[in-house]
Amino acid sequence: MDEPWPPAIGKTINGLVLEGDELVFRFEDGSTLTIFDDGQSCCETRYMRTDDDLDHHVGAKLLGAEILDAPSIEDERGEHEVQFLAIKTDKGTFTMSSHNEHNGYYSGFVVVAKYGEAEHA
């Protein structure tokens, strides 16, 4: 996940939303950064959630991110895995949780960040 971050670091966040299961940053210069879990396999359900106020970070500068291990959560299938993604801005840190519900055969996370340059006419 390190590759796309350098061009986005220090940019001012113009928009920040959780669209489906993707965290999408839109920056003042028109560029974007999209973060999602790309490890989907058979018999899994993956999704991303947050309890934090993403709107609070609009207007902030992106400083970086860190992936953190989290405890598994009990559910009707037994347990499912969780991983935290702590996003650092100059207005503070917000935390996303990536969830992987599976049948026990598959597991793990493949968090991907894709950076898109601004389109100039």
Give residue-wise pLDDT tens across range 13-30. 999 999 888 899 999 999
Both structure tokens of 29: 């210069």
Query: Domain residue spans in the chain?
Result: 5-116
User: Other CB atoms closer than 10 Å to residue 49's CB: what's the count?
Assistant: 13
For tokens 């991303």, the residue is 48
Averaged pLDDT of the chain:
83
Name the more confident of 32 and 83: 32
Give pLDDT, residue 120.
Answer: 57
Torsion of CA 85, 88, 94, 100, to 10 degrees: -10
Name the more confident of 113 and 4: 113
Give pLDDT, residue 12.
Answer: 98
What does the pLDDT look like over 59-79, one tens digit per residue? 999 999 998 988 777 666 666
Is pLDDT at 34 greater than 70 in this prediction?
yes
With CA atoms as reference, report the closest residue to 84 among 54, 60, 53, 50: 50
- Local confidence band at 113 (pLDDT 50, 70, 90 cut-offs): confident
What does the pLDDT look like over 73-99, one tens digit per residue? 766 666 678 889 999 999 999 999 888
